[in-house]
């Protein structure tokens, strides 16, 4: 009888720990980033901040919130939405396609490594640009983005810390300022006009 109770207690304990682990994983991998990104998008003036709560759309939002050139290796584009779609397709379908190619010696394994490297690089850039947009300097953004690839909870924590910061293109300016460069030009024009008005 004692042995049975002991076994039941052990199983219950393991299930409880697994449940707690599942809740924490859910919180740090989905819920916390969703809340943070929703706040970031709202402050930025994004027309659809609720995308943060839809798993695949959340990734799209992460890619498109920064108004910067997407630069990683040979890629240099302002089509951040397209980069999000490519990343999602590669992550969700690339593995399955490559698994079928594993019957070809070496080639399949090389593609596996290439895909993992590609996804890591694109996700690093996504995280780096988000952190830069919301206040991190270049060095800090680089470090936390690299760590975030291997320990995703770090990315989630920093999103929470940054969610109330002003984006580098200004509160509410997501739709009116297409790129960081244009925002800077507009700011300069306004500043010069303001100086002239004050001088008069």
Q: What is the pTM of this model?
A: 0.74
Range in 24-38, 43-57, 75-89 the model is least confident about: 24-38
The two beta strands, 70-72 and 75-77, are antiparallel
Tens of pLDDT, residues 34-67 = 999 999 999 999 999 999 999 899 999 999 999 9
- Please give the mean pLDDT across all residues of the chain: 80
Chain mean position to CA 62: 4
Judged against a pLDDT cut of 70, whether residue 106 lies above it is answered with yes
| Cβ-based neighbour number of residue 89 at 10 Å | 10
- Sign (positive/negative) of CA torsion 119, 122, 125, 131? negative
The CA distance from 54 to 126, in Å, is: 17
The CA distance from 168 to 137, in Å, is: 11
Tally of structural domains, the chain? 1
Tens of pLDDT, residues 122-131 = 999 999 999 9
- pLDDT greater at residue 165 or residue 176: 165
Contact (Cβ atoms closer than 8 angstroms) between residue 62 and residue 69: no
Phi-psi region of 170 (alpha: psi -120 to 50; beta: other; left: phi over 0): left
Residue in the structure block whose two tokens are 């859910």: 26
Residue 191 domain boundaries: 2-199
Split at pLDDT 50, 70, 90, the class of 119 is very high
The CA distance from 187 to 22, in Å, is: 47
């Amino acid at each position: 009888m004692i042995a049975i109770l002991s076994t039941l207690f052990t199983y219950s304990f393991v299930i409880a720990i697994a449940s707690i682990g599942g809740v924490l994983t859910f919180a740090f991998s989905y819920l916390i980033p969703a809340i943070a990104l929703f706040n970031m998008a709202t402050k930025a003036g994004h027309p659809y901040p609720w995308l943060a709560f839809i798993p695949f759309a959340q990734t799209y939002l992460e890619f498109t919130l920064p108004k910067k050139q997407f630069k990683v290796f040979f890629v240099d584009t302002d089509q951040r939405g397209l980069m999000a779609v490519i990343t999602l397709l590669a992550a969700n379908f690339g593995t399955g396609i490559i698994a079928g190619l594993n019957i070809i010696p070496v080639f399949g394994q090389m593609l596996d490594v290439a895909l993992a490297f590609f996804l890591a690089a694109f996700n690093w850039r996504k995280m780096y640009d988000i952190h830069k947009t919301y206040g991190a300097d270049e060095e800090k953004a680089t470090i936390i983005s690299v760590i975030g690839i291997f320990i995703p909870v770090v990315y989630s924590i920093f999103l929470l810390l940054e969610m109330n910061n002003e984006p580098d293109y200004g509160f509410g300016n997501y739709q009116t300022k297409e790129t960081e460069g244009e925002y800077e030009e507009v700011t300069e024009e306004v500043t010069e006009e303001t100086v002239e008005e004050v001088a008069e």
